[in-house]
Structures are given as structure tokens and as C-alpha cells.
Structure 1
Amino acid sequence: MQLSLSLSRSPLESVRDALLCEFGPQRPVARMDPISQLVKSSISGSTPDAVSWAAFLRLRAEFKCWEDLAQASEGRVLEIIHDVTHAQDKARRLPLALRMIEARIGWLSLSHLKTLTVDAARHELQSLPGVGVKVAACVLNFSDLAMRSLVIDTHVQRVAKRIGLVGSGDATHAYHALMDLAPEAWTADDLFELHWLMKRGLGQMLCPHEAPRCGACPLKHDCAKIGVGHSADVLAWRPRG
């Protein structure tokens, strides 16, 4: 661990506090139902937010209800979400995932997940086609289920590596590592806030893949990879001094 933190506190607390001082509190304004969140998150991977939101709104305008989307052909869905990344795969998997939920539950709903543990709910979601650890966490945390699950996207994973919170590994490894560091007292809203601070604030505004603005970063004094730019994920730690 490279951050010079008090042993009595989780490293995530110090990271959050520093980012809160820079960007202020970030709380969810509104939450969608879990099926709507699943639809939105399933088409969002590797796609700019503006593009995925526009595609989601087109889906919502095209279909009177998500049950109609479940029965739609791949071609019809592809026409609507054509500009998202990996559109053909998503157009095939999304209706199938919705039909699988209907077959399991008897109708199109995920409200029962609230009665499960976070891990059990996440595993059930990840058994659906096209749903990995990120999409599952989005459904659990961003929707009105409001469960304790941290969304790990590419920005969060990148900056978590750069500041020494996680080591090498995939998003699943990063999810478990960061959830292990999250204080038990933190709520779903606290984890939503941490995701926003690490993604929007740190990952997109200050520490993008290339040309990070290290001088403006509130974590710069504790980041051993300061100034290494887009190679920060693969280079060895720099000595400080």
C-alpha cells in the first residue's frame, strides 16, 4: 500500500475524504427500477455515457414496456442501439436476458433480489447473458434496490491501481478488493458517491488514461505513480523524495 494512511482507517476513507474536499458530496438524485437499470447498464459497456443514454431513451420510446423488448428480434434491437459499442452482441443478449428473468420469476421483475444477500443477488445477475460484475453492481447499487455494491468501471479500476488500492487483476478482482476495504457502516449511497468521485472526479477530470493532471490531484502527495501518464498501469512504482 502506497498511501500514507492511518492504520485505524480504511484507505478508501482517506481517498473519499480527499476527493470530497475537491468535488463535494455526490448523492443519487433518482433511481430507476432494476429492470430499467439492467437495460441501461447492459448497453453501456465501453460506450460513452451520452451515447448509451441516447440509445436507452430510444429503447424506452420504441417499446411500451420491457416485456415487448424481451420479445423483440435481434435485428430490431440492433437498429435502435446501433451506435453503442459491440451493438450486435448487446442486441442479441439483452432480450435473451429479459426472457430468462421472465422464465425464472414468472414475470419481468428483479425486486426479489432485495431479499437476498449482495453476493447472492450479484451471482444471480451474473448468470444472465451479457451481465458481468460491473453490470450486476450497477443494477444492485444504482437502481431502487439500493444495495451495497461498488460499480467498478475502467476509470475506477485504473485509478485504484494507480494509487495503490488494488494490484493487477481484472474487474472482478478489483471489485472484491475494494469491497473488502469499504467500511461496513457505508451505505449504498456512500458506495454510489465513491464510484462517482473515483470515476467522474478522479478518473475523468484529473487522472485520465493519458496526460493526467497530477498537479491538481488531491491525492498527489500519496501517489507513487505521479506523472507516469498512460503507462501508469504497467510501470513499476517510482521512488518518491
Structure 2
Amino acid sequence: MNRKTACEVYHRLLVQYPIINDRRHFLDFHNPYETLILTILSAQTTDRAVNAVRDALFSRYPTPEALARAKPEEVEPIIRTIGFHRTKARHIVETARKLVSDFGGEVPRTMEELRTLPGVGRKTANIVLSHAFGINVGIAVDTHVRRLSKRIGFTESTNPDIIERDLMALFPQEVWRDINYLLIRHGRAVCTAQNPKHDECVVADLCRYYQELLAGEQVSCPEDR
């Protein structure tokens, strides 16, 4: 796909899902510390499930210093309803300790420093930088972004790092956060993993997967999960 077509997709989705200033990536965070911790917890878990434990977690551990003093087994009961809660409890406690010991209790503002924290990969770091600090150094690629990028035709790959690179080449840096948001919204509402709603899709005429269906080609629906 060329940049002109990619930008047309972006503008149509922008009309469909107007971006508001306080969208916060669907997770209910209010500062960089909360952004980091909730994003770590959100891996392979719905935002709704993470938001459900938010108040209990931060009422008990409102700062990195408070969480750093906890033991993982003390955190586990609070987040037990989310996936992989034992591993995530260990990660967020270890992350809080590293914030205190290495960064003065502050969330770092660079990709390199964020990725030294337990449980933080490139996707999580991109989300934290973008939503906590307004710094766009990349595009967070989650399951929705990966699925839609392949279906629409932004990429030929299913590898998150390659998808991110392809998206960065198609879109100007100032909309990197927005394209992530728009693809997630469209992926949840219309371009679902199973039985996508083609008749409701505002970019169907630009979508490679849909055009292949119309042509009667035998195609599999990319990333049906």
C-alpha cells in the first residue's frame, strides 16, 4: 500500500472514530506511574479486567515507593482476576523497585530505559512514552493493530517489529499514536477477529482482504484470534 492510500484509510477512520484529548488508550490511568503499571498488567488481558483492579491496587500502592516495599504474594490477591497474575505481580513489584533504585522513583522517558524494566517490551514502552509523555518514537502493535495491518494491506508481515516499521514508513510521526488508537477502535467495533462486519467498514473499498473476497479468491482471514 502506498502512503496516499494509507492516509485515506487514516482520515476515514478519524471521521468514524473522532479522537478526543482524554482517550488514555482505554486504560484508566492518570499519571506516568499508573500508565506503566496498568500497561504491564494489560498484556494478554482486556482493558476492562485491568481497570477492574485499578482502584484496589493504587489505593494500597499509590506510588512506586509503596509498591517497591510490597512482596509479590501480597499483590497477587489484588490482581488475581487478570491473566498471568502471579507473573505480573512479580513484574510490577520488581519494576517499582527498579524505578526507586535506578530512576529516583520516576518513570523514565526513553525507550532504552523503559525496556530495562521487568515486563516491559517495545509495545509497552511505546504506550507509556506516547500516553504518559506525548513522545512518539514508534507505534504500539497489539493484536488489533497486527490483525488490521495485515488485512488492510499496510504490511505483509505478522511480526510486530516489522509491522511497526512498515506503519512508521506509511504514516507521519505526528499521527503514530492516533493510528494505533484508530486501528484498535476499528478492530474492536468492526474488523473483529471472527466474522468482521464488512458491510459496516468505512475502508472496505481500500482493504486488500475484502477486495480479495470480492474477487472470489480463496483467502484466509489474517490473524483470526
Q: TM-score, normalised by structure 2?
A: 0.85
Specify which of 152, 165, 169 is matched with residue 163 of structure 1.
Answer: 152
Instruction: Give the whole-Å Cα distance in 2 for the aligned partners of 1:191 and 1:98.
Output: 28
Counterpart residue type for residue 211 of structure 1: N
Is 1:193 matched with 2:181? no
Instruction: Give the whole-Å Cα distance in 2 for the aligned partners of 1:141 and 1:13.
Output: 20
Q: 1:101 to 1:220 in 2, by over 3 A?
A: same
Does the 8 Å CA contact 1:152/1:171 hold for their aligned counterparts? Answer: yes
Does the 8 Å CA contact 1:11/1:165 hold for their aligned counterparts? Answer: no
Does the 8 Å CA contact 2:147/2:223 hold for their aligned counterparts? Answer: no
Does the 8 Å CA contact 2:64/2:97 hold for their aligned counterparts? Answer: no
Does the 8 Å CA contact 1:156/1:199 hold for their aligned counterparts? Answer: yes
Deviation at 1:58, TM superposition (A): 1.6
Match of 1:205 in 2: 189
Total equivalences in the alignment: 213
Q: 1:68 to 1:169 in 2, by over 3 A?
A: same
Deviation at 1:140, TM superposition (A): 0.3
Q: 1:154 to 1:204 in 2, by over 3 A?
A: same
State the Cα deviation string for residues 30-50 of structure 1 (Å, max 9, x = none).
673222210110101111111
Q: 1:231 to 1:57 in 2, by over 3 A?
A: farther
Is 1:154 matched with 2:143? yes
Specify which of 35, 42, 45 is matched with residue 44 of structure 1.
Answer: 42
Match of 1:61 in 2: 59
Specify which of 99, 118, 124 is matched with residue 129 of structure 1.
Answer: 118
Gap runs ≥5 in structure 1 = 114-120, 236-241
Match of 1:97 in 2: 95
Instruction: Give the whole-Å Cα distance in 2 for the aligned partners of 1:87 and 1:234.
Output: 26
C-alpha root-mean-square deviation of aligned residues, in Å? Answer: 2.3
SS in 1 for 2:184: helix
Does the 8 Å CA contact 1:37/1:139 hold for their aligned counterparts? Answer: yes
Counterpart residue type for residue 97 of structure 1: T
Match of 2:172 in 1: 183
Instruction: Give the whole-Å Cα distance in 2 for the aligned partners of 1:79 and 1:234.
Output: 33
Higher relative contact order (CA 8 A, sep 6+): 1
Deviation at 1:66, TM superposition (A): 2.5
Match of 1:173 in 2: 162
Specify which of 127, 130, 140 is matched with residue 138 of structure 1.
Answer: 127
Is 1:22 matched with 2:20? no
Instruction: Give the whole-Å Cα distance in 2 for the aligned partners of 1:52 and 1:233.
Output: 27
Identity among equivalent positions (%) equals 26
SS in 1 for 2:208: coil
Q: TM-score, normalised by structure 1?
A: 0.80
Instruction: Give the whole-Å Cα distance in 2 for the aligned partners of 1:180 and 1:137.
Output: 16
Q: 1:231 to 1:56 in 2, by over 3 A?
A: farther
Match of 1:81 in 2: 79
Deviation at 1:182, TM superposition (A): 2.3
SS in 2 for 1:79: coil
Q: Which runs of 4+ in 1 moved over 6 A?
A: none
